[in-house]
Amino acid sequence: MISFAIIGHLARTDGEFSLNDLPGSGGRMDVLCRCVNASLFLSHDLRRDTECYLILCGESAAPKTIRFSGNTIRSLSPDERSAGALVKKALNLPVGSEFRDAAPGVSVRKGGLERLIADDSFAVLDEKGSDIRSAESLPTSFILSDHLNFTGDEESLIQQYPRYSVGPSCLHADHTITVLNNELDRRRCGWQ
Amino acid sequence: MISFAIIGHLARTDGEFSLNDLPGSGGRMDVLCRCVNASLFLSHDLRRDTECYLILCGESAAPKTIRFSGNTIRSLSPDERSAGALVKKALNLPVGSEFRDAAPGVSVRKGGLERLIADDSFAVLDEKGSDIRSAESLPTSFILSDHLNFTGDEESLIQQYPRYSVGPSCLHADHTITVLNNELDRRRCGWQ
């Protein structure tokens, strides 16, 4: 299983945003929606072995985590509004500390980064890391930040994790996921 | 200069689509908007040396071509609606056979693939091509199709062009552009 976890520092946690204004009213929810797309979509297919976690840290019920599971998701299209509508549906549910289903392949719980990294071992994708192409083997679970840098508290939580970079240019989070998925595809299929 | 040209087989050519329904009313205009994003955006910057051509072939005034120029574009945000709004603005202008400005860095003209390839030498990005990583040098102008295959007429026009593939999985057009841009970044910066 491949996992991507993206921290949305300003992303709303209460569903009180408009699908017509994901960047503004959603706290850059557009970034997170594109990360769902980059994590899960192939052309005319889905990456069934991949999960995408959105760690939402904005107003007014932070933190919450939404999980998109490639093996069970339905009703997801590649456009931003499609993922945004599923996020909104999940955020409108009352939630506790365990994942509850909001739609097929979409679940939500209270809790953020600290909770997530207690369950799995992650690597960090950012521009200060070592080149993914030079790595003898790559991990399968990755944390990224949205358009903002990791906070000091987040850095403290992830400081012991290995860091990888996908290239010499500083990319958007969704582009970073796309390049990483390409590298994993190549390694799996012997395209080096 | 790097150029990406994406054929939108069903993409509307008259501006009569809703920004709230880019996939349906726009004839999968969402695909093309994501290609603009993948072509031009870096994190907190733009790829100033890159142009993105959208070749629109849908109802009701096909074909038209819209050019997004990284060195002069303004008022473009990464979300799909932002590129969609600029497309709509361009399509609402009366146009002739030469590019006319619709907004800073955005211009539009009548004509499609045949006209475009008369001006430049292109390569084709699709899954049947040779691996971009194996190429000693790469071209700088690329044609891609949207979610549909090239038509027979299009294949006739591009059959003599070199073909490249970005990896073993069949990807969306915007993801393909992202991976290709990463390969070009690496070659430019000596990250091999």
Mean pLDDT by 10 residues, chain A (192 residues): 98 98 98 98 97 98 98 97 98 98 98 96 96 98 97 97 98 98 98 84
Q: What pLDDT score does B54 carry?
A: 98
Residue A64, domain extent: 1-192
Q: How far is CA A40 from CA A16, A50, B87, in A?
A: 25, 6, 27
Q: How far is CA B70 from CA A54, A126, B50, B51, in A?
A: 30, 24, 5, 6
Which of B79, B128, B172, B189 best probes binding to A when mutated, by most A CB atoms within 10 angstroms? B79
Contact criterion met (CB < 8 Å) for A185 and B191: no
Q: Which residues make beta-bridge pairs with B109?
A: B65
What 3-state class would DSSP assign to A147?
A: coil
Q: What pLDDT score does B169 carry?
A: 97
Q: How far is CA B150 from CA A98, A171, B154, in A?
A: 47, 30, 6
What is the secondary structure of B126-162 as a DSSP string?
EEEEEEGGG-SS--SEEEEE-SSPPPHHHHHHHTTS-
Average pLDDT, chain B: 97
| Chain A residue with the nearest C-alpha to that of B23 | A79
Q: How far apart are alpha carbons A113 and A5 in whole angstroms? A: 9
Alpha helix locations (H) across A80-160? 80-91, 113-119, 152-158
CATH number, domain at B137? 3.40.1280.10
Low-confidence stretches of chain B (pLDDT beneath 50): none
Nearest CA of chain A to the CA of B168: how many Å?
A: 6
Contact criterion met (CB < 8 Å) for A172 and B41: yes
Domains contained in chain A, number: 1
Q: What pLDDT score does A192 carry?
A: 74
pLDDT in tens, B23-49: 999 999 999 999 999 999 999 999 999
Q: What pLDDT score does B126 carry?
A: 94
B89 φ/ψ angles, rounded to the nearest 5 degrees? -60, -45
DSSP one-letter code for A23: T
